[in-house]
A and B are shown apart, each in its own frame.
Chain A
Amino acid sequence: MLKDITLGQFFPGNSLLHRLDPRTKILCSILLIVAVFLAKSALAYGVLILLTAALIIISQIPAGTVFKALKPLIVIIIITAFFNMFFTGGEEENVLADFRIWFLHPVIRVEGIVSAVKMALRIVLLILQTSVVLTYTTSPIDMTDGIERLLSPLAKIRVPVHTFAMMMSLALRFIPTLIEETDKIISAQKSRGADFSSGNVIRRVKALVPVLIPLLLSSFRRADDLALAMECRCYRGGTGRTRMKIMKMTAKDFLFILFCALFIAVRFLPMISSSALGITGMNFSF
């Protein structure tokens, strides 16, 4: 039951995106997010849609799986689009529909629809790109390693970067263990007649005590054991620690960063020509 919750979305594979350095992927995700926010013209969106499609193909992850990443955000996308549709100002001549409900006076203009579509598209692109470039293709452990290395300059001003990264990877490592343990304890208490699904709120919360106490205890026990095991292997924090897997940026990493950075620059080109071409929504008229 609890097992059905998928944690992280890492989808193991061996595509170009899987093989890139995690730092590259974090940086590129940021670059692509910036690119999406800078996009204004329809042409720019077109280019970004093509880019996203290309990234999905390169990642070798089934498109259906990638689109699942949108599922939890559908409501947010719809609400955002809805508000943009009504609350975007524009020319009187562009009014498409005009409602009068009591004292409210919602108006749908062409500008509203264009901006709603843009907003929805923007969120969809953001999610798809970061999923494919980062979360689907980077294991959580690689991700924390990457973050640690990227933030390592902050260690100079005494930010405990290594400690945070270590805490994060330990937490990630133990989430599945904890879920398994919870499942086991729930089953055990159920076979002693625990009832988690009936009664009012207070009774249900009370019914959780026999699960939470053993869980808490075993977490402490685990933490103790782990600390001991780490000390036995002479763990003393990040200073002087070497790595078994040394992260190395290769030519393909730099090329990929350059490739993603390019899209920020490309943003400005269609803006100039778009009005001349009459492609943008703004020049749309009936």
Chain B
Amino acid sequence: MSEYAIELKGVSYTYGKGTPFMKLAVDHVDLNIRRGIITGIIGHTGSGKSTLLQMMNGLLRPQEGTVLLDGKDVWEKPGKIREIAFRVGLVFQYPEYQLFEETVRKDVSYGPKNMGLSDAEIERRVKEALAFVGIGEELYDASPFDLSGGQKRRVAIAGVIAMEPEVLILDEPAAGLDPRGRAEIFGNIVNYKEKTGRTVIIVSHSMDDMARYAEETAVLCGGRAVMMDETKKVFSAGRETLEKLGLNVPQITLLMEKLAQMGLPVSKDVFTVEEAKRELLPLLKGGQSDA
């Protein structure tokens, strides 16, 4: 077993090759996705994140370079590419628009059915997957179209989890949800990772979510991978560097920066609310004793 779940080696992809609308979406990207952790991918709009994801699960064939899954070239046997989709589960942006079955149960079992599993096994996986995303038994026979937006999203994610992929990839899993919905989805994902020990990749525009949930983070800019490191180290690169890449640091870091400017002795390398709390509480107590 190789140390990395997925390795990208000099991968490139150009849309509409040979037409006036040619667009280089991914440009010689080298990335290693570590096994068993949550890796975040961030980048400005159009930086090639979704294209990169589709190459990871065999939907798009890289025009240059190779994608290794567990150390083996994904495109070694092009006839078997469908199996790669089972091993690397990709949840698209706004996956709720892909629901189509009459009941939640049927929709979630679509993937496992395509894998040719037995009915009992399908049933087990459907239950497990729906439990991971917090959909209760009472909704199993409801029409997916009668659910709320957040519930639909979670059913759609369960549809991929039910295939029990070695790597679960989620493209903007929390887009368009309210703060509570976001927290719930990310909570479900973290819980899934903890319980199964499987590899997870998340694409997000939210620096706050990344800082909080991703252990490692890759930064894409104009189709190139410009950074890949522990999340903390990526954000430590500083606001100027990130802004040049069309990104920003988490809100809480901006606040800490302001506080530091005002002369408070706080660290600027704070990226989550929990860390900020740890940093600020003693200060508050200290301030009180001063007064």
Give, as a whole number of angstroms, the nearest-CB distance from A103 to chain B: 52
Give chain B residues whose Cβ lies under 8 Å from the Cβ of A209: 100
Q: With A187-B92, A210-B100, A218-B97 as given contacts, are A192 and B59 in contact (CB-CB < 8 Å)?
A: no
When the two chains form the complex, which single residue of A184, A194, A210, A218 contacts B92, counting CB atoms closer than 8 Å? A184
User: Is residue A213 contacting chain B, with contact meaning CB distance below 8 A?
Assistant: yes
Is the CB–CB distance between B85 and A190 below 8 Å? yes
Is the CB–CB distance between A193 and B86 below 8 Å? yes
Is the CB–CB distance between A188 and B92 below 8 Å? yes
Summarize B's interface: helix, strand, loop or mixed: helix
- Which of A3, A193, A195, A213 gathers the greatest number of chain B CB atoms within 10 Å? A193
Give chain A residues whose Cβ lies under 8 Å from the Cβ of B287: none
Q: Looking at the complex, which of B110-118, B214-222, B239-247, B255-263 is the stretch in contact with chain A?
A: B110-118
User: Is residue B54 contacting chain A, with contact meaning CB distance below 8 A?
Assistant: yes
How many A residues touch the partner, as a band? Answer: 10 to 19
Is the CB–CB distance between B85 and A185 below 8 Å? no
Interface residues of B in 82-112 (CB under 8 A from A): 82, 85-86, 89-90, 92, 95, 97-100, 110-111
Is the CB–CB distance between B98 and A193 below 8 Å? no
Give chain B residues whose Cβ lies under 8 Å from the Cβ of A3: 16
Summarize A's interface: helix, strand, loop or mixed: helix
User: Is residue A90 contacting chain B, with contact meaning CB distance below 8 A?
Assistant: no
Q: Residues 200-224 of chain A: 1 if any B CB is under 8 Å from the residue's CB, otherwise 0?
A: 0000000001100110011000000
Interface residues of B in 154-193 (CB under 8 A from A): 159-160, 163
When the two chains form the complex, which single residue of B16, B54, B97, B163 contacts A185, counting CB atoms closer than 8 Å? B97
Give chain B residues whose Cβ lies under 8 Å from the Cβ of A184: 92
Give chain A residues whose Cβ lies under 8 Å from the Cβ of B82: 190, 193, 195
Give chain B residues whose Cβ lies under 8 Å from the Cβ of A214: 97-100
User: Is residue A88 contacting chain B, with contact meaning CB distance below 8 A?
Assistant: no
User: Is residue B47 contacting chain A, with contact meaning CB distance below 8 A?
Assistant: no
Give chain B residues whose Cβ lies under 8 Å from the Cβ of A187: 54, 59, 92
Is the CB–CB distance between B114 and A188 below 8 Å? no
User: Is residue B57 contacting chain A, with contact meaning CB distance below 8 A?
Assistant: yes
Is the CB–CB distance between A193 and B163 below 8 Å? yes
Is the CB–CB distance between B114 and A191 below 8 Å? no
Is the CB–CB distance between A195 and B114 below 8 Å? yes
When the two chains form the complex, which single residue of A185, A191, A195, A213 contacts B160, counting CB atoms closer than 8 Å? A191
When the two chains form the complex, which single residue of B85, B97, B100 contacts A191, counting CB atoms closer than 8 Å? B85
User: Is residue A189 contacting chain B, with contact meaning CB distance below 8 A?
Assistant: yes
Interface residues of A in 65-85 (CB under 8 A from B): none
Cα separation A209 to B100 with both chains bound (whole Å): 8
When the two chains form the complex, which single residue of A189, A193, A210, A217 contacts B115, counting CB atoms closer than 8 Å? A193
Is the CB–CB distance between A193 and B100 below 8 Å? no
Cα separation A188 to B50 with both chains bound (whole Å): 12
Give chain B residues whose Cβ lies under 8 Å from the Cβ of A210: 98, 100, 110
Cα separation A214 to B98 with both chains bound (whole Å): 6
Is the CB–CB distance between A192 and B111 below 8 Å? yes
Cα separation A209 to B107 with both chains bound (whole Å): 12
List, sorted by A's number, 19 A–B pairs whose CB atoms are closer than 8 Å. Answer: A184-B92, A185-B98, A187-B54, A187-B59, A188-B95, A188-B98, A190-B59, A191-B85, A191-B90, A192-B160, A193-B111, A193-B114, A193-B163, A195-B82, A210-B100, A210-B110, A214-B97, A217-B97, A218-B97
**B residues touching A (Cβ–Cβ < 8 Å)?**
16, 54, 57, 59, 82, 85-86, 89-90, 92, 95, 97-100, 110-111, 114-115, 145, 159-160, 163
Known A-B contacts: A188-B98, A192-B160. Give 11 more (CB < 8 A). A188-B95, A190-B82, A191-B92, A192-B111, A192-B163, A193-B82, A193-B111, A193-B115, A210-B100, A214-B99, A214-B100
